[in-house]
Structure 1
Amino acid sequence: MGKPSRVILITGASDGIGAELARQWAARHREAVVLVLAARSLDKLEGVAAACRSAGASVLVEPCDVGVKADCDRLVASTVHAHGRIDVLVNNAGVSAHALLSDVPDLGWYEDVMRTNLWGAVWCTHAALPHLLASRGQIVAVSSLAGLVGVPGRTAYSASKFAMTGFFEALRVEVAARGVSVTIAYPGVVDTQIRYRGYDALGRPAGRSGLDERGAMSVETCARLILDGTEARTRDIVMSAKGRAGRWLKLIAPGLVDRLALKALNQEAKA
């Protein structure tokens, strides 16, 4: 009897990093993986699923809003019911935002950002943890460089990603002795639409990016780095030399890091 396929659960899999990660996983491992793809958009999920199936992977599509705890619980239950196990949980679902705090009249959407970026990952991880312990599996958290260095104009987003980073760093120590690894990925500016769809000061879709998009990393490269790091059970995936330098400069030259963070803003957005 052959070795059972690894069951990979990816949230936020309808487009961007999550969708590309699913496609690359399918292309790399084909029949050796079962992909469970979760997001709010069923139509987009089906398109990603079709590409993965054409590469030879088995795919289960699960509509899920990670900002709703019941959806997260149902996602994990459906995965285990269908496949009996979870080997890798990729907490990728997220929402962006860009606004100066002084321009925000109502903080309600700050709570929405935190619910999706932090609580969605916490709820999915809590529900999946018994199964990951059983499989000695892996947890992947897609954070952000904004979860390592505060970015002006991104107080809501940075807060959610700093919280996400802290949660998974603490969890990593809790579960390491029981055979579960935690990998935290820190993408910088990646060529996706997440910032254009993120919140503006009034809680509306921004329609533009608040960051300088020149030199944005391709989504293909970002997904490949996450997949490579996951397979190596890498502790942290910091994807650029600038990001790696920023972690250390923050300790020894914090004022310089502040100036670099300001420079990263879209000049039009600051005007």
Structure 2
Amino acid sequence: MKVIVITGASDGIGAELARQWAQRDGGGAALVLGARGLDKLQAVAAQCEALGAQVLALRCDVEQQHDCSTLIDAAVARFGRLDVLVNNAGISAHAMLDEVDDLAWYERLMRINFWGSVWTTHAALPHLKASHGRLVAVSSLAGLIGIPGRTAYSSSKFAMGGFFEALRGELAADGVSVTVAFPGVVDTQIRYRGLNARGEPLGRSAMDERGAMTVQTCARLILEGCLARRREIVMTAKGRLGRWLKLLAPGLVDRMALAAMKKDERPR
């Protein structure tokens, strides 16, 4: 039985990833699901149990280091081991820097997107080494290519990518794989719940949502990449192209990044 911990599992990519893992191999997984919204998390847990998985659902705010370590401790106490950690919890934001008066929410975004992953991973390391397990970090294309209006979000995701890239080398001798996923625009509510220039919920998406990837496809790609111990998962053709064009034609990539925004959200 494999024991999988998923943060940010109450909805979106995390919830769908939990459901897909639950139904894999006849429901033989043990899932430890963490999120801030316990009611929604328990609903996801019930869906996974109905698919045959054993589930432990715990309130976990990755902005708090204690919650991160408690989630890992509870997983090992309940199931005796840890095989996979998926750092999925995160928050989005959209604001032009010159519109921001108080940068305190930039720090909060970094605590959730970056430090939450660091704290949870640090607590999980000895257990993943013992199982020769798998680490997964759910980043974003904004962690590969800087997107105008997303200075806070992009910086947190770039930091996340650098951390896990360096950690991969540290863990290679222990047989622990590190997979970083870079989704593009996925059909979830993360951008609508993201923060605006005042650090308040945005209530809308500033990105062009046409052609957004389904959450089912995104979760499947992450699951497959994790099981195959892939280094990275860049999910869109534009993302793969943009990554290489950064080296060859950076100005073109800047224009592509700008085009990803809705026209009325672009800087003037």
Q: What TM bracket, shorter-length normalisation?
A: over 0.9
1:256 aligned residue: 252
- Determine which of 72, 82, 89 is the counterpart of 1:86: 82
Question: Shift in Å at residue 72 of structure 1?
Answer: 0.6
Structure 1: where are the runs of 5+ without partners?
none
- Determine which of 232, 239, 255 is the counterpart of 1:236: 232
TM-score, L = length of structure 1: 0.97
Percent of paired sites with the same residue = 67
Question: What letter is aligned with 1:47?
Answer: A
SS in 1 for 2:56: strand
2:24 aligned residue: 28
Question: What letter is aligned with 2:228?
Answer: A
- Determine which of 130, 137, 141 is the counterpart of 1:141: 137
- Determine which of 75, 93, 96 is the counterpart of 1:97: 93
Deviations 1:77-126 (A, max 9, x none): 11111111110000000000000000001000000100000000000000
Question: What letter is aligned with 1:53?
Answer: E
SS in 1 for 2:192: helix
2:188 aligned residue: 192
Q: Distance in 2 between matches of 1:242 and 1:248?
A: 10
TM-score, L = length of structure 2: 0.98
1:204 aligned residue: 200
SS in 2 for 1:194: coil
Q: Distance in 1 between matches of 2:28 and 2:2?
A: 6
1:166 aligned residue: 162
Question: Shift in Å at residue 267 of structure 1?
Answer: 1.7
Farther off after superposition, 23-32 or 222-231 = 23-32
Q: Distance in 2 between matches of 1:107 and 1:173?
A: 33
Question: Shift in Å at residue 159 of structure 1?
Answer: 0.1
- Determine which of 61, 68, 73 is the counterpart of 1:65: 61
RMSD: 0.8
Question: Shift in Å at residue 269 of structure 1?
Answer: 2.3
Q: Distance in 1 between matches of 2:115 and 2:262?
A: 29
1:114 aligns with 2:110: yes
Q: Distance in 2 between matches of 1:73 and 1:37?
A: 13
Farther off after superposition, 136-145 or 30-39 = 30-39
Q: Distance in 2 between matches of 1:162 and 1:203?
A: 20
Deviations 1:118-166 (A, max 9, x none): 0000000000000000010000000110000000000000000000000
Structure 2: where are the runs of 5+ without partners?
none
